[in-house]
Amino acid sequence: MPGNTDPRNPGSTVFSRPLEVPAVEERIRKRVEGAVRSQLGLSGPSPADLKMAVEQASKAAAQSAVEITVAKLADDAARESGRAGVLDRFKDKLQFAADGMKVIDDSDQVSDVLKKRANLMAKKRAALEEAGFSPDEAFQILLADINARG
């Protein structure tokens, strides 16, 4: 039943009528006719029934080839369109991140916050060493704490 079906299934069609491309039909017909004549060992004119069978098969194969090619190229274009959207969203996110970094960099409070955090870490390391951890162990505990917080 012709109609709008999945273009990735051979023999299905998404076109309202068969697509005819005479140049493709002719190319296929010549190849099929030569191959049939060679395999069957025919010489001279082809029998009318054989000629009709080759023409019908070639026409069907050409229509299928054209439909598959058009559907594949349309699918490829749709995929490319989707990729472009992903790239645009990624670029938007990068711009948003860059804008956020600029706001942080321009802020007068950032240095104060970073200094306070560094002082707190230094106090924590000193407290760990006073509790009996070696300087290396205290440092490793601080690193684990920082990694756990993200």
pLDDT per residue as tens digits for the range 112-133 = 888 999 999 999 999 999 999 9
Residues 101 and 86 in one domain: yes
Alpha helices in 8-150 (DSSP H): 22-40, 48-106, 109-130, 135-149
Residues 100 and 48 in one domain: yes
Domain holding 41, by residue range, is 1-106
Q: Domain boundary residue among 89, 106, 123?
A: 106
Quote the CA–CA distance of 138 and 124 in Å, as a whole number.
8
Cβ(17)–Cβ(43) below 8 Å: no
Looking at 33-37, 44-48, 80-84, 93-97, which range is the least confident one?
Answer: 80-84
Residues 45 and 82 in one domain: yes
Tally of domains within the chain: 2
CB neighbours of 32 closer than 8 A, spacing ≥ 6?
54, 57, 58, 61
Mean pLDDT of 71-78: 90
Looking at 23-32, 91-100, 101-110, which range is the least confident one?
Answer: 101-110
| pTM across the whole model | 0.47
Residues 97 and 111 in one domain: no
Q: 52: which 2 tokens? A: 């009709």
Residues 131 and 86 in one domain: no
Burial class (CB in 10 A: 0-12, 13-18, 19+), 62: buried
CB neighbours of 58 closer than 8 A, spacing ≥ 6?
25, 28, 29, 32
pLDDT per residue as tens digits for the range 14-34 = 677 777 889 999 999 999 999
